[in-house]
Chains A and B, each alone.
Chain A
Amino acid sequence: MKNIVLFQIKKQYKSVLVYLAALVGFAWMYISLFPSMQKIDIEAMMSQLPKEFLGFLGEGGGSAYNTIEGFLSVEFFSFFFVLLIGFYVSSVAGAAIAGGIERRTMDFELSQPVSRTKKLLSETFVAIIFSILIVTAANLMIKLLCVIYNIDISSKGLFYFSILASLFSMAIYGIAIFLSSIVRSKMSVVGITLFFTLGSYVFYSLSLAVEKIKDFGKFTLYYLYDPQKTLSRAELNLDHCLILLFIFILGTITALIIFNKKDV
């Protein structure tokens, strides 16, 4: 197990640094824009927009832009952050089973004295550690950037958001690793996972704006994430956290069962 963990760390650390750099780079751009955003009367501007559009911005509506927490939630954490984290975890999960079978590297790996369970759990361990690291490091950098730009951001909110975002990335991993055990291509795993995750974002946002589907938003993965609530209110919904953790555990266990029975 140690052997696989060390190998995966060595294999992935460079791409993890690239993901982190991309996240910090984008966050930096938004943080540097925030002071000039404050000079604009956003509320007045937003009042000109249709009511449905404001609903799309979440519970704070246009006022979300008045705070750095709301601004980052709407502009950064809702889409770009999820896209990159989702891409990382789904790539790693896709490579773990489907990619290995597709590239035929799985044959030789499994001819070694290692069980399928140990192999998958080792790779899962590295994926989770790295995704927590990306999330935490990105949020620490955001805090640092806010200090540099003299912007007051809630440390507690960021801390809670780090926990939530880590659990959210674990849940995406759970979905992706399940898909990896049933499809035969890594890119299919990445594509379906991102489609599902970002599709959940679009549907959730629509549910905030469209009255008819208002009640269905809570059935999306994104409802459990909602960075705006966590960051702005500095509150962590324990039920949501447990459901995200459950999705991760369920996805991983199901993938393990399928992988252990699968012809490779």
Chain B
Amino acid sequence: MNVIETKKLTKYYLGRKVLGIKNLDLEVKEGEIFGFIGPNGAGKSTTIRLLLDLIRPTSGDAKIFGKDVNKLTVSIKEEVGYLPGEIFLDDGITGEECLNYYKGFKKNIDHKYLNSLINRFDFSVDKKVRDYSKGNRQKLAIILALMHKPKLLILDEPTSGLDPLNQQEFFKVLKETQKTGTTTFLSTHILDEANRICDRVGIIKSGELISIENIDDFRKKNIRDIDITTSTTIPLSHFKIDGITKVARTTSGYHLSVAGPVTKILEEILKHDISDIDITKPTLEEIFIRFYR
């Protein structure tokens, strides 16, 4: 069963001047963690806002749990947990008052589970929202999104502001919720995040879905840049190794663009007189230019 289904979903802003997303066909299956990857401004947040009925489509339609997101939005949201990248709450109330207020919208809150979330993220409920740091606000947002054990989690750049330890804890919680059947739709521009927890990824660029891939296929792309510093000349034919997609001469040596596992490539390169090797990950934009033009 598809938990999320969109057909030719299109959104333009300011009349028809600014494109949000165009003809988006998407299917997210029950129980999977689906990553929605794209650079900033690609249309990820527009898609999420359409799914949450915060904005209305120009054309096309979207369904969650088989229900129209516009017509049956209230009953859909009973089973949805939404986590924005940056949460904006009434800042004059305390964390506890905030939890109590949003608890009031939900049915059957498991208080034991709620307390366990508060403890896991080491969240202090007695401060005013305005006094929380960005990270603590994000912790509050995580708790608000998860407290009613939703069947669908919609996460928009969820780890922004979280320290590495809390990121790890958050991913652990996501994996746990997956075991209990929760579906997750996660939008991110951080490839590692998608690599780490997603089952499938959808690649979106300039408002259009370019491809949907299984995470294993996506991982195989494992794109790296390798900069070799050497005083010797290496014949270009020596770089004809599986995985090297591009070779360029630099002032200090060579620049290689690599996709897939790097072990074999490194073994071959190290046969030469190399003084230094620098392996870096290109930006998402660079990856898009190379693979998803």
Contact = CB atoms under 8 A, between A and B. Distances in A.
Interface of A: 2-3, 6-7, 10-11, 103-108, 110-115, 261, 263-264
Contact of B74 (A11, A103, A113): A113
Contact of B77 (A6, A113, A261): A113
B47 to A, nearest CB: 14
A104 B54 CA distance: 11
B88 interface: yes
Contacts of B216: none
Interface of B: 49, 52-56, 73-75, 77-78, 80, 82, 84, 87-90, 92-93, 97, 101-102, 104-106, 141, 144
B54 A111 contact: yes
B84 A108 contact: yes
Contact of A11 (B89, B90, B105): B90
B82 A7 contact: no
Nearest to B107: A113
Given A113-B77, A264-B54, A3 B84 contact: no
Given A7-B101, A111-B54, A263-B56, A105 B77 contact: no
B89 A108 contact: yes
Given A107-B84, A114-B74, A11 B92 contact: yes
B105 A3 contact: yes
Contacts of A112: 77, 102, 105-106
A55 B80 CA distance: 63
Secondary structure class of chain A's binding surface, majority of residues: helix
A110 B105 contact: no
Contacts of B101: 3, 7
Contacts of B97: 10
Contacts of A106: 54
B105 A113 contact: yes
A105 B89 contact: yes
A108 B104 contact: no
A214 B101 CA distance: 52
B105 A104 contact: no
Contact of A110 (B54, B106, B141): B54
Q: Considering residues A3, A113, A264, which has the most beta carbons from chain B within 10 angstroms of its beta carbon?
A: A113
Contacts of B105: 3, 112-114
B89 A113 contact: no
Contacts of B73: 115
A10 B94 CA distance: 13
Contacts of A264: 54-55
Contact of A113 (B56, B87, B92, B106): B106
26 contacts: A2-B104, A3-B105, A6-B104, A7-B101, A10-B97, A103-B88, A105-B89, A107-B49, A107-B88, A108-B84, A108-B88, A108-B141, A110-B52, A110-B53, A110-B54, A111-B54, A111-B80, A112-B77, A112-B102, A112-B105, A112-B106, A113-B75, A113-B77, A113-B78, A113-B105, A264-B55
